[in-house]
Amino acid sequence: MKKHGILNSHISKVLSDLGHTDYIVVADAGLPIPEGVTKIDLALKLGVPSFQDVVDVIAADMVIEKVTLAEEIKQGNEEALQYISRTFAGEQSENSQTAAIEFCSHEQFKELTRHAKVVIRTGENKPFANCILQAGVYFG
């Protein structure tokens, strides 16, 4: 049994297989999953696990160079926007790192999910709690 890191074997495998500029999606419970894209469904009930819980765990294990959000998050979910801004502004906390944050329309966001390596579905039930996490490179 693993002692540290992500215990979910499916997520761990996906992260291990990512190359530079590949991306994954962390989605709320309502985001449609495109046909042909692998879905890892973590949703247990509404709100569990939360969007923030899942992004925190992934950010601790993945080099992320860019985060893409739907423009609508600015009006529809200020809490999630502030969380992403704090987490990827490089502030000194356990899981924070510096990454570019970009926005597109929600319709464009859904189109981008077609090219994701995986969509990880959370139980989050607040609007626009979705992000695309693009892999960077670690030359430690």
Order across the sheet with 131-135: list the strands: 39-41, 119-121, 23-27, 131-135, 64-70, 100-104
pLDDT digits (tens, 9 = 90+) for 7-38: 999 999 999 999 999 999 999 999 999 999 99
Segment 37-58 shows an average pLDDT of 97
Question: For helices 78-87 and 51-59, what crossing angle results, to 10°?
Answer: 10
pTM value? 0.94
Segment 55-84 shows an average pLDDT of 97
**CA–CA separation, 105 and 117 (whole Å):** 21
Buried b (16+ CB within 10 A) or exposed e, 23-59: bbbbbbbebebbeeeeebebbeeeeebbbbbbbbbbb
Q: Which of 4, 10, 20, 106 is catalytic?
A: 20
With 80 as the cut, is the pLDDT of residue 81 above it? yes
Phi, then psi, of 111 in degrees rounded to 5: -65, -40
Give Cα separations from 103 to 41, 96, 109 (angstroms): 25, 19, 9
Residue 93: the pLDDT is 56
Is 20 considered catalytic here? yes
| Domains (range + CATH), the chain | 9-135 (3.40.1650.10)
Residue 138: the pLDDT is 85
